[in-house]
Amino acid sequence: MIARAAIAVLALASAGAAAQVLDFSADEVRAVLRHGPWPPAFVPDPSNRVSGQSEAIELGERLFFEPRLSREGRFSCASCHVPGLAFQDGRAQGLGRTELDRNTPSLLNVRLNRWFGWDGAGDSLWAQSVRPITDRREMDSSASQVAALLREDPEYACRYRRLFGEPRDAPDQAMLVAAAKSLAAFQETLLSGRSAFDEFRDALGRGDRLAAARYPIPAQRGLRLFLGRGACTACHLGAAFTNGEFHDIGIPFFLREGGVDPGRHGGIRQLQASPLNLLARQSDDRTGAAAIKTRHVALEHRNFGEFKVPGLRNVALTAPYMHNGRIATLAQVVRHYSELDLDRLHADGEAILKPLRLSREESADLVAFLESLSERASASPRRRPIAPCRG
Amino acid sequence: MEKRRASLRQSAAALIAGALCAAGAGACELPAGTRIESASYALSFRTQPARIAPGEHFALEYAVCPKAGAAPPGTVSADAWMPEHRHGMNYRASVVALGGGRFRAEGLLLHMPGQWEIVFQAGSERLAHRLRVE
């Protein structure tokens, strides 16, 4: 084992005194490289036959901003997933027709999820897209309302016909699912842009220390903590910085009205009862491969109070944090893990977390690293005029 | 004399063939793979794909042989466990018996990097193999 000073710094003579790269070990470099490359290649969703199709993306984009999808014509998807706010709403808890129990998640990178929603009640992006449309607390719409819009609006009727066939002949429920698949096709295009971290990661990978040295030293120290003592990569792994699964991290799950949010436990029960899950006939995947997760997911007592591990890309742009928006700033998130109250964790749960007991400087470094995951420029397509449908 | 020699050769051949048949009937050969043993069983397994990545579903193909005096197990289940974290998978593998002591388990997913145990349960015996996933 190679002994190493805790914060040994290599100065780059060619880059001047300010340009430095920490002496990341070969293991650390390998660990850094596992958080990329970015952006990831597009892989169509096999359960959605219009995934990746430009006409479906256009229809989905129109529907995303369409208030007539809601019962009273007051809400569109974009009312809560605001493009200028990283496709979330900046509130602690979402606000539909009434205040909701959970934080509105960002839709950037949503296509990389295995499960959808804080509790993973959705196993596909299109099934998840149906939920807020029909939820009484949110858009409070129905299959018949959505179908009527798609049949009666000439522009929608034309687009529907080109993608799915004659709308007059289709059952309402099938039209709702088709609308959701188009919405999913649009949401699949929402990706966060490249970050300072990505530049650093790629520079490390090609051995370009000059370029790597542009990454600030506090972020580098924070990255080392993230990979090492913090053990954050146990859950925040891969290019999206999430394992896509569910954990209890000691955030209270009591609701205002006195009930409790069952989290993943309730999510699995909803999933298994859903007529829109991937085991049902609405899935376009005839191989059954997409449904392997749904077929095998296990309902355990420990799932109670577990919530999904969010990806960390653009995390500085998506405050407040946690499933109920209870934590306002990244510094407070870091303090939560630093001073973790183990009594809040399930006694029979997993033994992963322990208080990190970070110094003030270490906490600031970890925040600097998390901030470096923000995009430098949006990678999501800008809204543009869409030519009227013909045919 | 020659007749007697031929008869002896035939008897010897018959004895050898009989012995081979007996061995063949009782023999249990494990296919290539990672081999683990318990008191009563030997097991070999392979993962599909060969390299397991965190967060990706994989399957196990395995075969079990009872050791001398042990009865063949009815079925052999497969699971995975992360000892350091005291948790298992979030998925329950489905197992299909392929006959001849061979099985296929599907639906496994290791959701964290680190050291895991692949665990097989044959009757009351647990057979485990540790592996590291990065």
Binding-site residues on chain B for chain A (CB distance < 8 A): 54-55, 57, 82, 84-87, 89-94, 106-109, 111-114, 134
| Secondary structure E strands in A23-178 | none
Residue A9 has pLDDT above 50, yes or no: no
Cβ contact B113–A237 (<8 Å): yes
Residue B18 has pLDDT above 50, yes or no: no
**Which string of DSSP letters, residue by residue, matches B31-85?**
PSSEEEE-SSEEEEEEEESSS--TT--EEEEEEEEEPTTPPPPS-EEEEEEETTT
Which A positions 85-114 lie with beta carbon below 8 A of chain B?
A: 114
Under the banding of pLDDT at 50, 70 and 90, the label for residue B45 is very high
Cα–Cα distance between B123 and B102 in angstroms, integer? Answer: 15
Instruction: Single out the residue of A308, A309, A312 nearest to residue A226, CA to CA.
Output: A312
Q: A135-145: per-residue pLDDT in tens?
A: 999 999 999 99
Give a yes or no: residue A283 inside a domain.
no
Cα–Cα distance between A105 and A319 in angstroms, integer? Answer: 10
Which of A30, A241, A292, A354 to substitute to test the interface with B, most B CBs within 10 Å? A292
ipTM score: 0.89
pTM reported for the whole predicted model: 0.89
Give a yes or no: residue A245 inside a domain.
yes
- Assign residue A36 the CATH number of its domain: 1.10.760.10
Under the banding of pLDDT at 50, 70 and 90, the label for residue A160 is very high
Instruction: Single out the residue of B132, B33, B129, B133 nearest to residue B79, CA to CA.
Output: B129
Give a yes or no: residue A8 inside a domain.
no
pLDDT in the model for residue A265: 97
Under the banding of pLDDT at 50, 70 and 90, the label for residue B27 is confident
Cβ contact A350–B89 (<8 Å): no
Pairing state of beta strands A9-11 and B114-122?
A: unpaired
- Cα distance from B56 to chain A (closest Cα, Å)? 10
| Secondary structure E strands in A203-280 | 246-247
In contact, A241 and A35? CB cutoff 8 Å: yes
Give a yes or no: residue A285 inside a domain.
no
pLDDT in the model for residue B9: 53
Residue B81 has pLDDT above 60, yes or no: yes
pLDDT in the model for residue A4: 43
Domain boundaries, chain B: 1-27, 31-133
Cα–Cα distance between A104 and A320 in angstroms, integer? Answer: 10
Domain count, chain A: 1
CA A21-A26-A32 angle, 5° bins: 70
What is the residue-averaged pLDDT of chain A?
92
Which of A113, A119, A243 to substitute to test the interface with B, most B CBs within 10 Å? A243
Phi, psi for residue A192 in degrees, rounded to 5: -75, 150
For residues B19-45, one letter each, b for 16 or more C-beta atoms within 10 angstroms of the residue's C-beta and e for the rest, the string is eeeeeeeeeeebeeeeebebebbbbbb
Give a yes or no: residue A319 inside a domain.
yes
Cβ neighbourhood burial of B124 (10 Å; 0-12, 13-18, 19+) = exposed
What is the residue-averaged pLDDT of chain B?
85
Q: If you measure CA to CA, which chain B residue comes closest to A30?
A: B134
According to CATH, the topology of domain B31-133 is: Immunoglobulin-like (2.60.40)
pLDDT in the model for residue A256: 72
Pairing state of beta strands B102-108 and B94-99?
A: antiparallel
Domain that holds residue A313: 26-41+193-253+305-371
Residue A360 has pLDDT above 50, yes or no: yes
Cα–Cα distance between A133 and A58 in angstroms, integer? Answer: 19
Q: A236-286: per-residue pLDDT in tens?
A: 999 999 999 999 998 888 777 778 999 999 999 999 999 999 999 999 999
